[in-house]
Amino acid sequence: MLAQAIAAQARPESFADLAEKVSPAVVNITTSTVVARGTGPSPIVPEGSPFEDFFRQFRDPDGEGRPRRSSALGSGFVISEDGYVVTNNHVIEKADEIVVELFSGEELEAEVVGTDPKTDIALLKVETDEPLDYVSFGDSDTARVGDWVIALGNPLGQGFSVSAGIVSARNRALSGTYDDYIQTDAAINRGNSGGPLFNMDGEVIGVNTAILSPSGGSIGIGFSMAANVVTRVVDQLQEYGETRRGWLGVRIQDVTEDVAEAIGMEEVRGALVTDVPEGPAREAGMKAGDVIVSFDGKDVEDTRGLVRQVGNTAVGKTVRVVVFRDGQTKTLKVTLGRREVAEGAVPAAQRGQEEPAEPSQMSLLGLELTPLTDELRAQLELNADAQGLVVKDVESMSQAYEKGMRAGDVITEAGQQKVTRVSELQAQIEEAREAGRKSILLLVRRGGEPRFVALSLTEQ
C-alpha cells in the first residue's frame, strides 16, 4: 500500500499548469520554397498509396511546367524576449520564406541566423515591438530514464498540441557524429520537428527531431536532441552565425579486446589513432598506434566519446591529451584547430624510405604478401612514395579473412613499426611472441583509408 501511495504521488494529476506555463513560447513554423515543375510524364501511383501525396505535389495539371511554391510545416520555440527562435535545420532548409506563428496567432517573418546540419539545429530571429514569452534550457544530463516529459508542437499541421510521456532512454545515436538523443514515448509526429521537450520544471531538455516508425506516425519511439548539445550550438550560432568546433587532427577507431591485448593494454577503452595527418596532433607529437585514453582531463571511453569531447572544446585551446604508447602513458599538449576549416582537407602523404629490394613473396598469418613495387603502386593507384607490404591473397578460412582483410590491402606497420619487407614483418612477429603477446597489431590501408587489425599469432 505504501509503495502504491508513493507511486501515486510521483504521478502528476495533470500537466495543465505546466502546459499553460510554457505554451506561449512555442511557435508554429511555415516555410515556403519555389520548386521548378518537371515537364516529363508524372509517375503512376496507385490510389491510396502512401506516396500519392508525395508525388501529387510535383504534378503539373496545367502541363505548363511553370515553377510553383511549396509549403512545409514545423515547430520551434522562443529562447529570448528579443525574438531568437530554435528549430530543426531540416524544417527551414532551402526555404525562401519562413513565417513564425506565435501562440497568440500573430505571424512574423523570420530570418535565419545560422544552421548546423550536423545536429540538425537552426537559429531564427523575428522582429517585434513587444517582448516575447520565452523558455530556458535545462540540464539534459540530469534527465533520468523514467522521468516525465511533455512535447509541444504542431503535429500534422493541426496547430498547438501537447503530448506527455517519459524519458525512455538516454544517449541514443542515430547517424550523426555529434548525436546525443533523448528517447521518449511522448507522441511525436510530422510537424513536431523543432519543437521542445520539457521536463516537469518547464525547462527545455531536448529538441524533437525524429521518430522511428514503419507507418510514418508515432509508435512511441521519438528522439529529441539533448539540450546540452543544442545550447552549445545555439550559443555559437548566436555569436558567430556558424559553428566553431575543436579539431584534433587524427583518424581513430575503437579499441577491441584483441587490439588491447596486442599492444599490452589492460583495459579495453580509449580511441586508437590510425593516422595523423598534418594538423594539431602531429605538431604535438602524436603517432599512429597511440591510444588516446584521456582528453582535457576527462577519460576517453571510445571514439564517439572522443569526437564529442573534441568538438565541444573551444578552438585554439591547448589541452592535455594522455596517450598509451609502448606500454606506458605519455602526456601531449595539443592546441586545437577548427574542424569546419579542416574538413575536406586531404591528409598529406607521409614520405617513407627508399624501397629495398624484396626478392619474393611469402605467406604469413593467412596472408600472401609481397613488397610494394612501382607496378603494384600503379595498379593500386597509390602514391609514388607509398611503402609497405601488399596482400596478394587471403586464405578464406583464416582469421585475417574473418577480420575483413582482402587482396589489395597494404600493410604499412606491424607492432607499431613500419614494415617494407616481409622479413621485417617476420621480425615483428617474433618480437611479439618473445614478449608473450598472443596477437600482433597491423596497420592496414585500403584506398588510402587506414585501420588497425589485430591477428592471432597462432596462425602461420
Q: Residues with Cβ < 8 Å from 348, sequence gap 6 or more?
A: 277, 278
> How does pLDDT run along the chain (460 residues), one tens digit per residue?
555 555 445 667 899 999 999 999 999 999 987 755 554 444 554 555 545 554 554 455 554 555 666 677 899 999 999 999 999 999 998 888 999 999 999 999 999 999 999 899 999 999 999 999 999 999 999 999 999 999 999 888 777 899 999 999 998 887 677 889 999 999 988 888 999 999 999 999 999 998 886 666 778 889 999 999 999 999 999 999 999 999 999 999 989 898 899 889 988 999 999 989 999 999 999 999 999 999 999 999 988 889 989 998 999 999 999 999 999 999 999 999 998 888 754 333 333 333 334 445 788 888 999 988 888 888 888 888 888 999 999 998 888 899 899 999 999 988 878 888 888 888 888 877 766 778 888 888 887 788 888 888 875 5
Q: Are 273 and 290 in contact (CB under 8 A)?
A: yes
CB-CB neighbours of 20 under 10 Å: 10
Q: Select from 223, 216, 26 the least CA-distant residue to 120.
A: 223
The beta strands (E) that lie in 212-341 are given as 222-226, 246-247, 251-254, 271-275, 291-295, 298-299, 318-325, 328-335, 337-338
Q: Cite the beta strand spans of 255-342 per DSSP E.
A: 271-275, 291-295, 298-299, 318-325, 328-335, 337-338
Q: Which residues contact 284 (CB under 8 A, 6 or more apart)?
A: 321, 332, 333, 334, 335
SS3 281: helix
Catalytic (active site) residue 193: yes
Rounded to whole angstroms, the Cα distance separating 70 from 34 reads 6
Strands 439-446 and 410-414 turn out to be antiparallel
Q: Which listed residue (120, 185, 290, 296) is catalytic?
A: 120
Q: How far apart are CA 403 and CA 459, in angstroms?
A: 14
Which position among 140, 193, 224, 398 bears the catalytic label? 193
d(CA 57, CA 449) in angstroms, rounded, equals: 42
- Known catalytic residue at 120: yes
**Catalytic hit among 23, 60, 80, 90:** 90
Q: What is the pTM of this model?
A: 0.69
Active site residue 290: no
Half-sphere exposure of 230 (CA within 13 A, CB side): 34
**Cell, residue 426:** 617476420
Instruction: Label residue 339 exposed, middle or buried (CB < 10 Å: 0-12, 13-18, 19+).
Output: buried
Task: At 328, list the grid cell.
Answer: 606506458
Are the CB atoms for 335 and 316 separated by under 8 Å?
yes
